[in-house]
Amino acid sequence: MSQRNVTAIVLAAGLSTRMKSKTPKVLHSLCGQPVLFYPIKALKDAGITQIIVVVHPLYKREVGRFFGLRPQNDTTITFVEQKKPLGTADAVKTALKKIPTHTKKVLILCGDAPLISSSTVKHLLQFHDHNKADISFVSAEFNSESELGRVVRSAEGKVERIVEFRDASVDQKNLTEVNSGFYCVEPALLKKISGVKNANHKKEFYFTDLVSLIQKACALKIKNCEEIIGINTRIDLENARKALQKKINQRHMLAGVTLIDAESILIDQQVHLDSDVTIYPGTYLKGTVSIGNSSIVESHCFISNSKLAQNCHIKQGSIIEESLLEEGACVGPLAHLRPGTHLKQKAKIGNFVELKKTVLGKNSKANHLAYLGDALIGNDVNIGCGVITCNYDGFAKHKTIIEDGAFVGSDCQLVAPVRIGKGSYVGSGSTVTKNVPAGSLAIARGKQVNLEGYAKKIRNKMGKKTEENIEPSKDCHGLQ
């Protein structure tokens, strides 16, 4: 549904002093996206195609870089600078000249209120039309400790004005209906903003004062007060994150994903999970992650910006970053896939194995204690316990190529650049510095020498027990 006659203004030029941060609050991250992403998304999802964002000159480039570069479909996002943050009324005033002439309704949202839903945006527009109001805004019942603006009504229940918490009398502070900062206004009436004064505690021009300057103001009171959480402090940021995370997790559960102890699982906004995926407690899926049908991610895993196909199994405590896993790949427990890892179908990575910029072919496995970096490994390859690709010579990184069907025995070092040929064997404990031709056996280790009876000599020399008087250990019968 398109709302082509509606223009939205998003206020995002405040200095975020209460956040005590170098980063403007609208760019703080919330479930993987900047705070400002969410009100813009709610507007787009409600069909609003014309959005003006008011930004502070110091942050214009930063905010613009993030939102300006994204494909926006048919939504136009325009940025206007508010030279000094003189208050919300002043912020709206700076946007007025950018409002297209065909605009029939102006929506105003706060860039620091990320939980607004698209249905509330649509509802506000309908409510405004239905009441033939001059200005409408969303309100909610909050506890009296909230520091949001209070809605003051007449004895008959008509909205008279909004009074800011700091400027409110004791009686007004006890009012529990609060202002969300989401408004719908008749464009012609916005010129009354010039009548707003800054005679208040903060010496700011409050947009809320417009309510008392306009004839018919109506408040749409919503039940879900979480939607109006505004972020002024880090405590608000955390409260908003919790509420948003709950919504995200519920969305996945309703789409057929099992989350065991959902409250302990962090899933970023842009994560995609197919049905029948199961996630165990304490796992964090960060950034752009997608996981295919019936995959399992066990407890305390961290997966960022990665794609996992169907039927993958990630065991406890594994870390996967910027990697691609094909169908049926199995990882962990306690494995680390660093950026550039690609596991092909049914490849298997076991505990204490680290991979970086490495392709591991179909059905290949590295089950224990290995480091594979800058390696191209074919299908059906076995990487033994303790194998290391020595990919860095102190100056540059070099490639290791291991062809299909090769078997690399335990505790080998493969000194790159090096190629292990198709179907070849590398004997355990080898330090491989030369290419291994296909089908051959490479052994590159010191030869074993057995000096008969030499152990007794050593013991005598060291004053230790001879082998005749070593008592058999109770636990080691097999060695007798």
Residues with a known catalytic role: 368
85 scored as a contact of ligand UD1 (CB under 6 A): yes
Q: What is the DSSP string of 7-41?
A: EEEEEE----GGG--SS-GGGSEETTEETTHHHHH
Task: List strand residue ranges (DSSP E) for 13-167, in order.
Answer: 29-30, 33-34, 50-55, 76-81, 105-110, 135-141, 150-153, 159-163
For ligand UD1, give the closer residue by CB, 14 or 421.
Answer: 14
Stretch 405-444: interaction string toward ligand UD1, x if CB under 6 A: ----------------------------------------
Q: Is 472 exposed, middle or buried (0-12, 13-18, 19+ CB in 10 A)?
A: exposed
Cβ 43 vs Cβ 117: under 8 Å: no
Contacts to ligand UD1 from residues 97-116, by CB under 6 A: 110-113
Report how far residue 272's alpha carbon sits from residue 294's, in angstroms, rounded to the nearest whole number: 13
What minimum distance in Å lies between the beta carbon of 39 and Ca ion?
Answer: 12
**Residue (133 or 210) nearer to Ca ion, CB:** 210
* Span near ligand UD1 by CB under 6 A; candidates 12-20, 40-48, 289-297, 403-411: 12-20
According to the binding rule CB under 6 A, does residue 9 interact with ligand UD1? no
Q: Which does 442 bind (CB under 5 to 8 A by kind): ligand UD1, Ca ion, none?
A: none
**Binders of Ca ion in range 99-158 (CB under 5 A):** 112
Mask: binding to ligand UD1, 19-58, rule CB under 6 A, as x and -?
A: -----------------------------------x----
- Taking the least distance from each CB to Ca ion, the nearer of 232 and 299 is 232
* 8-state DSSP, 223: S
Q: Which of 3, 50, 120, 179 binds ligand UD1 (CB under 6 A)?
A: 179
Tokens 């404990």: give the residue: 429
- Whether the ω angle into residue 34 lies within 30 degrees of 0, i.e. cis, is no
Minimal distance, residue 232 CB to ligand UD1, in Å: 5
Binding marks (x or -) toward Ca ion, 369..408, rule CB under 5 A? ----------------------------------------
Nearer to ligand UD1, 234 or 300 (CB): 234
Q: Burial-class residue 278 by CB neighbours within 10 Å (0-12, 13-18, 19+).
A: middle
* 381 in contact with ligand UD1 (CB under 6 A): no
**What residues numbered 228-247 form the site for Ca ion, per CB under 5 A?**
230, 232
Q: Please report, for the chain, how many H helices and E strands are present, in that order.
A: 8, 39
Q: Between residue 211 and residue 230, which ones bind ligand UD1 under the rule CB under 6 A?
A: 230
Query: In the structure encoding, which two tokens stand for residue 234, read together?
Result: 């880090």
Q: Which of 8, 9, 12, 116 binds ligand UD1 (CB under 6 A)?
A: 12
232 binds ligand UD1 (CB under 6 A): yes
> Which of 377, 290, 275, 286 lies closest to 325 in space, CA to CA?
290
To the nearest whole angstrom, how small is the minimum distance from the Cβ of residue 386 to ligand UD1? 55
Task: Assign 108 to helix, strand or coil.
Answer: strand
**How far is it, in rounded angstroms, from Cα 303 to Cα 277?**
14
Q: Which residues, including other chains, have CB under 8 Å from residue 216's CB and lie 6 or more apart? A: 131, 132, 133, 134, 135
204 binds Ca ion, rule: CB under 5 A: no
| Partner residues linked to 279 by β-bridges | 259, 297
> Closest approach of Cβ 112 to Ca ion, in Å?
5
Q: Which does 270 bind (CB under 5 to 8 A by kind): Ca ion, ligand UD1, none?
A: none
Q: Quick one: which of 207, 280, 371, 425 contacts ligand UD1 (CB under 6 A)?
A: 207
The two tokens of residue 347 are 């490849």
How do 278-279 and 33-34 pair as beta strands?
unpaired
Residues that bind Ca ion in the complex, under the rule CB under 5 A = 112, 230, 232
Residues that bind ligand UD1 in the complex, under the rule CB under 6 A = 11-14, 54, 82, 85-88, 90-91, 110-113, 148-149, 162, 164, 178-181, 206-208, 230, 232
